[in-house]
Amino acid sequence: MRSGDNAMVRAESAARLGDRGQAEPDLSFEEFCQQNIVQVERFLSSQCADRGLVEDAVQEAFITARDKWEQIRDFEKPLAWMYKTARYKLLVLRRRYRQDVVLGLDEVPPERLAEPADSAEARELLRSWLPQLPPRQAEVFTMAFEGWSDLEIAQVLGIAYNTVRAYRQEARRRLKELAQQAGFDAPAGRGRG
């Protein structure tokens, strides 16, 4: 046997063994994807109105995560790594396609401005307004809305704790203005959120 043939046999053997050896990490990665893909997509949707661009960025981020799964699965919060990676992928795609579409309230179809019928519809309306905020405010608000603490948000986004609080408050103020402009009554203050 020539050395080239040995290399081919080793590669085939490794591929066969690798399939069995990868079953458990694939399973945990699959579970991770199922549990977090919607959150990552919501996070990016708060920054970009182009659904196609968001979907592309999410797919690229999860492909990258699969390649690095051995490393990131042991992180305390692999979702934080996903947020950072997905955000970066979206920035790259936006630069590539030179898209930064933001709809004004006058461009939103009237049926979208109707009173929300339930909480799911209200959340969707809120998500449609998020791209009108500055990107960092939208990121902070989305993460806070998803239940992340201010300290966790600061660590994931690499900004100061007080900046997180200021961004969250300013985002709430601006979203309240957008709701009032659209003819919705602002709900009574609920405290933090």
- pLDDT of 152 > 70? The answer is yes
Q: What's the pLDDT at 13?
A: 42
- Give the three-state DSSP class for 43: helix
- pLDDT of 159 > 60? The answer is yes
Q: What's the pLDDT at 102?
A: 52
Q: Which of 40, 119, 122, 133 is nearest to 79 (CA)?
A: 40
Q: Where is pLDDT greater, at 105 or 55?
A: 55
Residue at 192: amino acid letter: R
- pLDDT of 1 > 50? The answer is no
Q: Where is pLDDT greater, at 61 or 182?
A: 61
Least confident of 69-73, 111-115, 130-134, 164-168: 111-115
- Taking the whole predicted model, whether its pTM rises above 0.85 is answered as no
Q: What's the pLDDT at 23?
A: 42
Q: What is the pLDDT of residues 40-99, one digit of tens each?
A: 999 998 888 888 899 999 999 999 999 999 999 888 889 999 999 999 999 888 888 764
Q: What's the pLDDT at 58?
A: 94
Q: What's the pLDDT at 169?
A: 93
| Tokens standing for residue 88 | 């970066």
Q: What's the pLDDT at 7?
A: 46
Rounded to an integer, what distance in angstroms lies between the CA atom of residue 130 and that of residue 99?
A: 16
Q: Where is pLDDT greater, at 183 or 35?
A: 35
Q: What's the pLDDT at 49?
A: 83
Q: 10 CB contacts (<8 Å, ≥6 apart)?
A: none
pLDDT category at 116 given cuts 50, 70, 90 is low
Q: 65 CB contacts (<8 Å, ≥6 apart)?
A: 29, 32, 72, 78, 81, 82, 85
Rounded to an integer, what distance in angstroms lies between the CA atom of residue 80 and that of residue 191?
A: 25
**Residue located via tokens 């590539």:** 96
